[in-house]
Amino acid sequence: MARLISFDKRSIPFLITALLLPCILMGLHTAGIRFNATESMPLGIYHLSPKTDNLKPGDWVSLCLPDHIYEHYKHRIPKGSCSNGSMPLFKEIQSIDEDGVFVVGHHPDSLDSRGYGKMPLVSTRSKIILIFD
C-alpha cells in the first residue's frame, strides 16, 4: 500500500515560504520591479514605468540598442527581451533633443553613448524610477 508523505509541523512554514516566494518574485518582476546590485547604476529597487514622455537629463531609462550597434557590441551584452535578442540596458540620460538621447552609465567600462553616440528616442523602453536605495 502506498504511504503518504508525512511532514514535521515545524517544516510547514518553510514549505509555504518555498512555494510563495517564487510566486511573489514573479509577480514583482511582471509589475516592473527590479533590483540592481551591479556597478552600472546605483544600488536599489526600481520600477520600470512604461511612460517615456517628458524624459529629461538625469532620468534613468531602459533602452534597446538598434541592430547595427548591437551587432558591434553583442559579445558584451547578454541575451534578453529586446527585438534583436539583446538585454535592455539601463542608462542615465545626459542630454536629450529631437535627434535622440545621449545616455551614460556609471561604470568606467560602461557601454553607452560615449562609444556609440546618441540613441533614437524610440530605443527607450521605459523610465526607471528609484523606489528604495
The pLDDT tens digits for 116-128 are 889 998 889 999 9
The verdict on pTM exceeding 0.85 is no
- Per-residue model confidence (pLDDT) at position 1: 56
Rounded Cα distance, 86 and 111, in Å: 13
CB–CB of 55/96 below 8 Å?
yes
- Among candidate residues 124, 123, 100, 103, the one with its CA nearest the CA of residue 113: 103
pLDDT tens digit string along 48-104?
A: 998 878 899 999 999 999 998 899 888 888 898 899 999 898 999 999 998 899 999
CB–CB of 84/65 below 8 Å?
yes
Nearest-10 Cα torsion for 95, 99, 105, 110: -140
From the CB of residue 65, how many other CB atoms can be counted at a distance below 10 Å?
A: 22
